[in-house]
Amino acid sequence: MNLKLKIWRQPNKEAKGKFEVYEVEATPEMSFLEMLDVLNDQIIEEKGNPIAFEHDCREGICGTCSMVINGQPHGPMGLTTTCQLHMRHFKDGDTIVIEPFRATAFPVLKDLVVDRDSFDRIIQSGGFVSVGTGQAPDGNSILIEQEVAKDAFDAASCIGCGACVAACPNASAMLFVSAKVAHLAYLPQGQVEASKRVKRMVHQMDREGFGNCSNTYACEAECPKGISVENIAKMNREYFSSVIGSQKK
């Protein structure tokens, strides 16, 4: 397969970026990142600067392989991270446009790499439970209804890749934050700090400069893990209950 790639190149956060065109030969069996590896080998052989992009597990777990491919976060396949996208989904002679996630809260560090520390700061603000350390408790010591456990697990499957932010016309992080809030809100272990958690995480999200949710559902459509927007409704209920509860006190 002979492909033409239009890739965003930006040497650092302060520099002005631009698209550069490359040609590469790939096979249908290659993953998208393997194709970029081949291109980087080609660039290095020509004494050029390789393209910076993030990757770690290459198994759809870590969420670091975030990039926009032909206008879609993680590419054209649903429920798929970039590292799981294979070249068989493209055709010989295709032109592929590759760029970083676009959001004020995700500044470009270099080429396709963006700074997603804003997500970490949101988690640090309240996305945890405070428990005593020591021997792990028995798995059945706290009984949880199957449906509740399923909802919590579905929310917990969020890998924090940021595709929801990249897909949203307002660069909203509501799907990410709601998944982290709902995951713990469903479980008894998360009830003690529930009121503080949702307020702190929502306020931190606002401080980071993410936009507001306008219910376009683009976040759910592009999420590689299929996180439901129902979690946003859950987070809103938790937030309103927390605010009203604090006012009564």
Model pLDDT, residue 119: 98
Q: Could you give the CA distance from residue 151 to residue 2 in angstroms, rounded to a whole number?
A: 44
Whether pLDDT at 138 is above 80:
no
What CA–CA distances, in Å, run from 4 to 94, 100, 197? 6, 18, 47
Domain spans in the chain, listed from the N-terminal domain onward: 2-109, 116-130+142-248
State pLDDT tens for residues 21-70: 999 999 999 999 999 999 999 999 999 999 999 999 999 999 999 999 99
CATH code of 2-109, in short, is 3.10.20.30
Whole-structure pTM value: 0.94
Percentage of the chain modeled with pLDDT above 90: 91
At 11, list the tokens: 């040497």
State pLDDT tens for residues 189-211: 899 999 999 999 999 999 999 99
Q: Could you give the CA distance from residue 83 to residue 101 in angstroms, rounded to a whole number?
A: 15
Say whether 116-130+142-248 and 2-109 share the same fold: no
Domain range 116-130+142-248, CATH architecture: Orthogonal Bundle (1.10)
- Using the Cα atoms of residue 144, residue 147, residue 152 and residue 156 in order, give the sign of their dihedral: positive
Residue the block writes with tokens 């969420």: 63
At 31, list the tokens: 């993953």
Going by C-alpha positions, the residue among 35, 41, 118, 117 that lies closest to residue 69 is 35
